[in-house]
Structure 1
Amino acid sequence: MKKIIIASFVLLGAFSCKKEQIEPKAETKVTYASFGDKIVADNALTKEQVLEKYNSLKEGDTINLKFATKINEICQNKGCWMTLDLGNDQKSFVKFKDYAFFVPMNAQNRDAVVEGKAFIEETSVAELKHYAEDEGKSQASIDSIKEPKKELKFLAHGVLIAK
Structure 2
Amino acid sequence: MKRYFIIAVCALGFVACKQNENEKKPELALADFTQQDYKSFGQEITPANSLSAKEMTAKYVSLQAGDTIPAKFSATINSVCKMKGCWMTLDLPGTDEDPMVKFKDYGFFVPKDIEGKEVIVEGIAFIEETSVEDQKHFAEDAGKTKEEIEAISEPSRSPGFLAHGVLIKQ
Length-normalised TM-score, structure 2: 0.77
Shift of 1:149: 0.2
Equivalent residues in 2 for 1:2-151, closer than 5 Å? 31-90=37-96, 91-151=98-158
Shift of 1:79: 0.2
Q: Which residue of 2 aligns with 1:26?
A: none
Identical positions, percent: 51
Greater share of strand: 1
Shift of 1:43: 1.2
Q: Which residue of 1 aligns with 2:24?
A: none
Shift of 1:77: 0.1
Residue 133 of structure 2 aligns to a residue whose secondary structure is helix
Q: Given that residues 57 and 94 in structure 2 are in contact (C-alpha distance below 8 angstroms), is that contact kept between their aligned partners in structure 1?
A: no
- CA RMSD of superposed structures (Å): 1.1
Question: Deviation digits for residues 53-83 of structure 1, max 9, x if unmatched?
Answer: 1111101110001000100000000000000
Q: Given that residues 41 and 165 in structure 2 are in contact (C-alpha distance below 8 angstroms), is that contact kept between their aligned partners in structure 1?
A: yes
**Partners in 1 of 2:72 and 2:169 — Cα distance?**
15
Residue 131 of structure 1 aligns to a residue whose secondary structure is helix
Please, which of 150, 158, 163 is the counterpart of residue 165 of structure 2? 158
Q: Which residue of 2 aligns with 1:25?
A: none
Shift of 1:42: 1.3
**Partners in 2 of 1:53 and 1:108 — Cα distance?**
24
Shift of 1:88: 2.2
Length-normalised TM-score, structure 1: 0.81
**Partners in 2 of 1:142 and 1:68 — Cα distance?**
29
Letter in 2 for 1:82: M
Which stretches in structure 2 are left out of the alignment for 5+ residues?
1-32
Residue 105 of structure 1 aligns to a residue whose secondary structure is coil
Shift of 1:89: 4.8
Q: Which residue of 2 aligns with 1:3?
A: none
Which stretches in structure 1 are left out of the alignment for 5+ residues?
1-28
